[in-house]
Chain A
Amino acid sequence: MSDFQLACPADEVPEGGMQLVELDERLVILFHVDGQYYCLDDVCTHDGGPLSDGELLGCEIACPRHGAKFDVRNGEALTMPATQATAAHEVKLDGGNIYVKINDD
């Protein structure tokens, strides 16, 4: 299991917005929803497309290809055609920066 690593300054992820970052040769999305930060793999588990081009509505991110929705808080797949969760990573805020611990499981 990896340690927390710096992802980006918190002010680069506005409330209700998201930010794509590269960590450990991996693309992940940071979300800022209701004052909390979350992090998911930038992968729709339906066909492997990027989620970061999708629309964020509350706690749900919708894949732009086929509309599969995921819960940004835990990566859970909420609607078809996705049936499997996308990887969610632990996030912490420290000194105005967002740190992420990559979940390799």
Chain B
Amino acid sequence: MSQTITRMEYNQEGFDAFLQARKEPQWLQSLRQNAWQTFSEGRWPNQKDEEWMRTDIRLFKLNKFNSATETGQPLPNAVLSAGVELAGSCSSMDGVTLHHHLDPEWAEKGVVFGSLSELANQHSDLIEKYLFQKAVDPNFDRFSALHAAFWSSGVFLYVPRGVVIDKPLHSIAGMSDGGSDFAHTLVILEDGAEATLLSESASPDVNAGGMHCGAVELIVGNDAHLRYVNLQDWGQGVWHFANQKALVGRDSSLQWTVGALGSRLSKVNQHVSLTGEGGNCQVNGVMFTENKQHLSYHTLQQHEQPHCTSDFLYKAALQDSSRTVWRGMIQVDEGAQKTDGYQRNDNLLLSRAARADSIPGLEIEADDVRCTHGSTSGKVDEELIFYARSRGFSRKEAIQMIVTGFFQQVFDRVTIESVREALGLAIARRVRDYE
């Protein structure tokens, strides 16, 4: 069946048409208008800005992309939900919601889950209280303002006080070649709640282009526990920009697993604030790059209160002439005594032309803390390859084993089997033979 798809450019006319086509509460329209104003008055970051000095976006041209009201493209296959019994699921393609479903068992307990766009009217008061209010700042940079003006579809999860969801929820955002995606993820766990959200993004093929300009907001109340998985597997022509922030309350925990595999260029800001005493956050990052991919991850683990722990581990393997930039910061606020903060970034260079920049940092304003960081970069040990080959393995099999072993440390921390398998398979598929 043919469909009429309205496409709107990211300019004043396109924004007006976008706003008019959406039947949204007044507060949300105002929020979008303010963000559009910020975007219109702002400038794109450039390599003279400290944060962007290693990431060149001069070839990014916003006018190559537009916003669609409908999509006729098929959704890429999901990998995180394979063989997993789910409490709910939702999907979108090119920023258009395709479906969302929550098991009635959880809806009866007050859980809300589905497309943020679809739920913005139904749960207006709840969403207004959190959307761009506590975590992500729509005025942070021009990309965050553009996202706040044009976000669509996305995921909303609300778990009321004391409700423990014992099955994962799943979301997938697809993007067709040359399309755009402005998905926004908003997760709210009230005190004593628990949930697991598996979130993935994908293109129809490995060379597909497009643009993702997104945001993630995770708000974890007191004594609450969230496991969040974010697998980014866009095509290698996609520009990926994201601002992500989590707030972790008193005696709560957040386990955040990141799989960064796709995109032509990624610039991601990942910020976790430990806002309540005794909060804990573990971040597990897996990055694999090839060809001319450029993935730049900037992490910030902010200790606002005492007796909190944070543990960030990012491991990256790079082949061809790809490049990663990892810039991590542990920030300990005054009064956040007894902090235990750790950050580590390991890089495995599979070719001579690959390059990994690793810049860990500390900013400590309290005087009774334990904060450590580390970074390693190296290539595959030829002796290991020689040993494996002497045992009958090909060079490629040997490298695959070594790469898998390199990532094992982070896989061991991931407690969800389908996630471990999906990441392991995706990486093994990509590893090539190098002399």
Residues of A within 8 A of B (CB): 22, 25-27, 47-50, 65
In the docked arrangement, what's the CA distance between A49 and B50, Å?
A: 12
Interface of A is mostly: loop
Given contacts A47-B54, A48-B323, A49-B53, whether A25 and B59 have CB atoms under 8 Å apart is yes
Q: Which A residues are in CB contact (< 8 Å) with B355?
A: 48
Contact between chains at A27 and B47 (CB < 8 Å):
no
In contact, B54 and A48 (Cβ under 8 angstroms): yes
20 A–B contacts from the bound complex (CB under 8 Å): A22-B59, A25-B59, A26-B59, A27-B56, A27-B58, A27-B59, A47-B53, A47-B54, A47-B357, A48-B54, A48-B56, A48-B323, A48-B355, A48-B357, A49-B47, A49-B53, A50-B47, A50-B56, A50-B58, A65-B53
- Within the assembled complex, what's the spacing in Å between the Cα atoms of A66 and B331? 28
Provide the bound-state CA to CA distance between A22 and B47, in Å.
17
Q: Please report which residues of chain B, range 34-80, place their CB below 8 angstroms from some CB of chain A when the two chains form the complex.
A: 47, 53-54, 56, 58-59
Q: Residues of A contacting B53 with CB < 8 Å?
A: 47, 49, 65
B 313-331 binary contact with A (CB < 8 Å = 1; else 0): 0000000000100000000
Q: How far is the CA of A47 from the CA of B54 in the complex (A)?
A: 7
A22: chain B residues within 8 A (beta carbon): 59
Chain B residues with Cβ under 8 A from A25's Cβ? Answer: 59
Q: How far is the CB of A49 from chain B (nearest CB, A)?
A: 6
Q: Which residues of B contact A65 (CB under 8 A)?
A: 53
Chain B residues contacting A50 (CB-CB under 8 Å) are 47, 56, 58
Q: What distance in Å separates the Cβ of A12 from its nearest Cβ neighbour in chain B?
A: 18
Interface centre among A26, A47, A48, A65 (most CB of B within 10 A): A48
The residue of chain B having its C-beta at the shortest distance from the C-beta of A43 within the complex is B56
Give the residue name and chain of the A residue nearest to B355 (CB): A48
Least Cβ distance of B354 to chain A in Å?
12
The 6 A-B residue pairs with the shortest CB-CB distance in the complex, in nearest-first order? A48-B54, A25-B59, A49-B47, A50-B47, A27-B58, A49-B53
Chain B nearest Cβ from A35, distance in angstroms: 29
Q: Please give 12 more A-B residue pairs, beta carbons under 8 A apart, in addition to A27-B58, A48-B355, A50-B56.
A: A26-B59, A27-B59, A47-B53, A47-B54, A47-B357, A48-B54, A48-B56, A48-B323, A48-B357, A49-B53, A50-B58, A65-B53
Least CB distance, A42 to chain B, in whole angstroms? 9
Q: Given the complex of chains A and B, what is the CA–CA distance between A76 and B333 in angstroms?
A: 47
Min C-beta distance of B177 to chain A, whole Å? 15
In the assembled complex, the CB of A70 is this many whole angstroms from the nearest CB of chain B, namely 17
